[in-house]
């Protein structure tokens, strides 16, 4: 695989429509390349990759918009803690036909329903008695119409209708099939007649398994939030994904995220541990050197943090926000999107957002100081310093030296 291809992530997405052919949801599908098929050798890794790509790497808005996402769940995934990372309102857990309806499976489905999840049963072609209890728990039944004759399909629907389930016709390939399903009372539709799965892609934010394992170890050792924050600061890719996940899990929460420590608190330790486990699952055996842009982003964040502390001693909130603005400012180069698109779903506090998108406020001036000092643009640096009279050349040099030293230590740790 080329280096460029290794940096890409892919997610399949097929529309699910209602009776008026309006978009109701998407089924999210594992894809390991830009071609519209997947080589799935590990169901857990495939599902973990779909969840990681949809809810952290790409962000839930890019993957789903305002729609819900159907996610395939096999037996092993059904019992995985990573499901509890998902926003209940935004997903439907699609239980695959290969999941046996054991007492343990029934108990787990009851628990997931109680936690607020919507369940669907996939690829139903007949009603087997042993599936009766599982069928009673799901809200949506996906009927695979392909192997069924018109009479068989009608008989199956007649048995399902009294149960009060929402019926979804899948693998609808022709207008004739669609019209038959409409007459039979199906309310949801999916298939090539409407649309083939499309591929959405983006760039992966680099984070090594070493970093993930280190953070998991700290969580298991009950490290203080300040220690977790310090460990995350050298990892801008993880930091952005943490913000995305925090915003996704806390959907409906209007609280603005002001710092890494705040994001950790909002997400919660148990959810943070699950998120890290999810990323370990999804990353497989990936490893390698960190992207130099990520190291530059971390250095800029540290420089701005130090300058904020120099400008307003004792204002920890401003220092935290300066670090956040610094690392976020290089994300457009890392992920290939405009800063406004990156910032929009992250729930950042207004002064961080305004600094990044409009260059305003104290943080905007600090960002211009950081950028001009990196570029060696003395005229721009002088103009930026004039906006913040509390800072001078000596403070800049001192902070630069400390930030570079900190970044070099990070680089040595990652290569060790």
Q: For residue range 226-245, what is the model confidence (pLDDT) as tens digits?
A: 888 888 887 777 787 777 77
Tell me the mean pLDDT in the region 247-269: 70
With cut-offs at 50, 70 and 90, classify the pLDDT of residue 156.
very high
Q: Tens of pLDDT along 264-306?
A: 888 788 778 767 755 655 554 343 344 556 667 778 888 999 9
What's the pLDDT at 289? Answer: 40
With cut-offs at 50, 70 and 90, classify the pLDDT of residue 208.
low
With cut-offs at 50, 70 and 90, classify the pLDDT of residue 210.
low
Query: Average model confidence (pLDDT) for the chain?
Result: 78
What's the pLDDT at 153? Answer: 96
What's the pLDDT at 232? Answer: 82
Q: Point out which residues pair with 198 in neighbouring strands.
A: 13
Give percent of the chain above pLDDT 90: 29
Q: Tens of pLDDT along 24-66?
A: 888 877 555 444 344 444 555 666 666 655 555 545 555 566 7
The larger pLDDT score, comparing residue 26 to residue 85, is at 26
Distances (CA, A) of 196 to 146, 189, 366: 16, 13, 48
What's the pLDDT at 251? Answer: 45
The C-alpha atoms of residue 376 and residue 391 are separated, in whole angstroms, by 17
With b for 16 or more beta-carbon neighbours within 10 A and e for fewer, the 82-106 pattern comes to bbebbbeebbbbbbbeebebeeebe
What's the pLDDT at 149? Answer: 94
Most confident of 129-138, 195-204, 385-394: 129-138
346: pLDDT strictly greater than 70: no
Name the strand (E) or helix (H) holding 109.
helix 103-114
Nearest to 225 by CA among 248, 249, 242: 242
With cut-offs at 50, 70 and 90, classify the pLDDT of residue 378.
confident
- CA trace torsion 395, 397, 399, 401 (10° rounding): -150
Q: Write out the CATH class of domain 3-202.
A: alpha beta
The larger pLDDT score, comparing residue 396 to residue 387, is at 387
Least confident among 90-99, 264-273, 322-331: 264-273
Tell me the mean pLDDT in the region 84-88: 79
The larger pLDDT score, comparing residue 367 to residue 329, is at 367
What's the pLDDT at 9? Answer: 47
Domain boundary assignment for the chain: 3-202, 209-415
**Would you say domain 209-415 falls under CATH 1.10.3210.10?**
yes
The larger pLDDT score, comparing residue 266 to residue 4, is at 266
What's the pLDDT at 291? Answer: 52
What's the pLDDT at 83? Answer: 80
Would you give the distance in Å from CA 314 to the centre of its chain? 34
């Amino acid at each position: 695989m080329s280096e460029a291809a290794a940096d890409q992530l892919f997610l399949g997405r097929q529309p699910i429509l209602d009776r008026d052919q309006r978009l109701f949801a998407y089924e999210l599908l594992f894809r390991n390349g830009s071609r519209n098929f997947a080589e799935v050798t590990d169901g857990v890794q495939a599902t973990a990759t779909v969840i990681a790509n949809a809810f952290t790497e790409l962000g839930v808005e890019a993957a789903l918009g305002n729609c819900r996402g159907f996610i395939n769940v096999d037996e092993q995934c059904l019992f995985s803690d990573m499901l509890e990372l998902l926003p209940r309102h935004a997903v439907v857990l699609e239980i695959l036909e290969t999941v046996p309806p054991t007492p343990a499976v029934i108990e787990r489905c009851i628990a997931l329903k109680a936690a607020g999840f919507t369940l669907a049963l996939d690829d139903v072609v007949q009603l087997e008695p042993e599936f009766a209890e599982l069928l009673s728990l799901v809200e949506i039944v996906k009927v695979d119409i392909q192997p069924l004759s018109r009479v068989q399909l009608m008989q199956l629907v007649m048995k399902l209708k009294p149960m009060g389930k929402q019926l979804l016709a899948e693998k609808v390939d022709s207008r004739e099939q669609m019209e038959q399903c409409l007459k039979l009372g199906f309310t949801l539709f999916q298939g090539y007649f409407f649309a083939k799965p499309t591929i959405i892609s983006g760039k992966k934010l680099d984070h090594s398994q070493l970093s993930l394992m280190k953070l998991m170890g700290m969580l298991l050792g009950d490290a203080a939030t300040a220690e977790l924050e310090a460990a995350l600061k050298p990892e801008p890719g993880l930091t952005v994904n943490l913000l995305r996940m925090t915003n996704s899990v806390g959907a409906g929460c209007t609280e603005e995220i002001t710092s890494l420590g705040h994001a950790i608190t909002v997400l919660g330790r148990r959810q943070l541990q699950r998120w890290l486990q999810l990323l370990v699952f999804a990353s497989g055996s990936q490893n390698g050197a960190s992207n130099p842009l990520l190291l530059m982003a971390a250095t800029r964040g540290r420089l701005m943090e130090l300058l904020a502390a120099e400008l307003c001693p004792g204002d920890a909130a401003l220092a935290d926000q300066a670090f956040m603005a610094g690392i976020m400012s290089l994300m457009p180069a890392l992920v290939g999107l405009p800063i406004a698109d990156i910032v929009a779903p992250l729930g950042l506090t207004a002064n961080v957002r305004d600094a990044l998108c409009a260059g305003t406020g104290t943080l905007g001036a600090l960002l211009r100081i950081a950028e001009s000092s990196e570029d060696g643009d003395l005229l721009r640096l002088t103009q930026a310093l004039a906006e913040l009279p509390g800072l001078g050349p000596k403070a800049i040099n001192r902070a630069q030296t400390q930030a570079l030293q900190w970044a070099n230590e990070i680089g040595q740790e990652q290569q060790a």
